[in-house]
Amino acid sequence: MTKLSPLATPSATRAVLEAHGLYTKKALGQNFLVNDVILEKIIAFSQVNERDFVLEVGPGIGTLTIALLKNAGFVVSVERDKDLPAVLDETLGPWADRFALVGKDALDLTATDLAQAAEQAGPPEVLAVHPMPNKFVANLPYAVAATLVLDYFERFESIESATVMVQSEVADRMSAKAGTKNYGAYTVKLSLFAEPAGRFSVSPGNFFPPPRVESSVLRLDRVRPVDDDGAPLDADALRATCTMAEAAFAARRKTIANSCKTYFASKGEQGSSIASALSSIFERAGIDPGRRGETLVRAEFIRLGKALHDASF
């Protein structure tokens, strides 16, 4: 049976690394996927097709990248390990006309980087449909996974969905419901840009070397948040909503009134002004200040954000 990616075995992965005199780097969170069945599930889950422009972070030796290139129209990968471009030149050689590599830290990726990569290597027929990445698919370095997913949805509006391998605890935070222990400021902020569309578990034995944590593949589909009148939130209202989420969970065990007061009182003169006006903000939003942040759903945080924004601090 033909493998989706010939690198998806421990022996093949080890052979590529040894051929280039390399080893796995724990500091970079390198755990290479070595199960082709999992790759097939990721591709099916992400619904990648030949019209898609896919963004990948942390391609490693190209195991998932090969699977993506066999299904997508164009892939741009971001890799900060300076030892890996030579490996990728070899393993991804057959798809060089549909692949581009950006050599930098993924947290520093810009829209300009993506545009330049597309201009240099992207096939016109794909870029005519999606001039910027429309799907984000990656086996993410776990230390930065949560930050990266929220950041990319916030900054790269072209991304319609993200199918990412993350630590299971992070997937729990990303998909948590109001009232549960994993629901927090991060969950609320991510929900302003995307919502879970499903997940599946991946055990440590599917990696080389095996990580010490359980993993999950989670797909998140972009949402366009609106207010109670159905009007899309602008950038300022989104920022205000994120601020209110952070404030509401600053002291999780306290009421939102006390948590927000503590949060804003520590933010200088402007924060003190907001703290003194919290009663009117809660009233304008129609939110009981005696509730706790974990009980509020996205729509209620949006109302709080708009109330803060409309107060014009």
Q: Are residues 121 and 46 in the same domain?
A: yes
Instruction: Classify strands 99-102 and 135-139 as parallel, antiparallel or unpaired.
Output: unpaired
pLDDT digits (tens, 9 = 90+) for 79-99: 999 999 999 999 999 999 999
Give 232's DSSP letter.
B
Q: Are residues 120 and 71 in the same domain?
A: yes
- Which residue, of 193, 222, 251, is where some domain finishes? 222
pLDDT digits (tens, 9 = 90+) for 145-173: 999 999 999 999 999 999 999 999 999 99
Order of all β-strands in the sheet with 53-57: 99-102, 74-78, 53-57, 135-139, 161-167, 215-222, 194-202
- Which residue, of 192, 222, 252, is where some domain finishes? 222
* Number of domains forming the structure of the chain: 2
Q: What are phi and psi of 76, to 5 degrees?
A: -120, 130
Split at pLDDT 50, 70, 90, the class of 2 is: confident
Instruction: Provide the CA 47 distance to its chain's centre, in angstroms.
Output: 17
Torsion angle of the four alpha carbons 238, 244, 245, 251, in this order, in degrees rounded to the nearest 10 = 160
230 falls within a domain: no
Which range of residues forms the domain containing residue 55? 10-222
Identity of the residue numbered 4: L
Q: Are residues 180 and 249 in the same domain?
A: no
Split at pLDDT 50, 70, 90, the class of 250 is: very high
Question: Which CATH number fits the domain that encloses residue 181?
Answer: 3.40.50.150
4 falls within a domain: no
Q: What is the pLDDT of residue 1?
A: 62
293 falls within a domain: yes
What integer best gives the mean pLDDT of the chain? 94
Instruction: State how far the Cα of 19 lies from the Cα of 77, in Å rounded to an integer.
Output: 22
Given a cut of 60, whether residue 26 has pLDDT beyond it is no
